[in-house]
Amino acid sequence: EKTSKISALTQEVQRLQLEVQPSKLKDGLGKLLTEKKEENQIKQAQIKELEHQLEKIKQQLEHKQLVSDQQLNQNEQASKQQIEELRKKLQRQETMSQKQLEELRVQLGSQQHDSAAQV
* pLDDT tens digits, one per residue of 26-69: 666 778 888 999 999 999 999 999 999 999 999 999 999 999 99
pLDDT digits (tens, 9 = 90+) for 63-117: 999 999 999 999 999 999 999 999 999 999 999 999 999 999 999 888 887 777 7
Domain definitions of the chain by residue range: 1-31, 62-119
Separation of alpha carbons 82 and 104, rounded Å: 32
Q: CB neighbours of 17 closer than 8 A, spacing ≥ 6? A: none
Separation of alpha carbons 103 and 100, rounded Å: 5
Separation of alpha carbons 56 and 63, rounded Å: 11
pTM of the predicted structure, to 2 decimals: 0.48
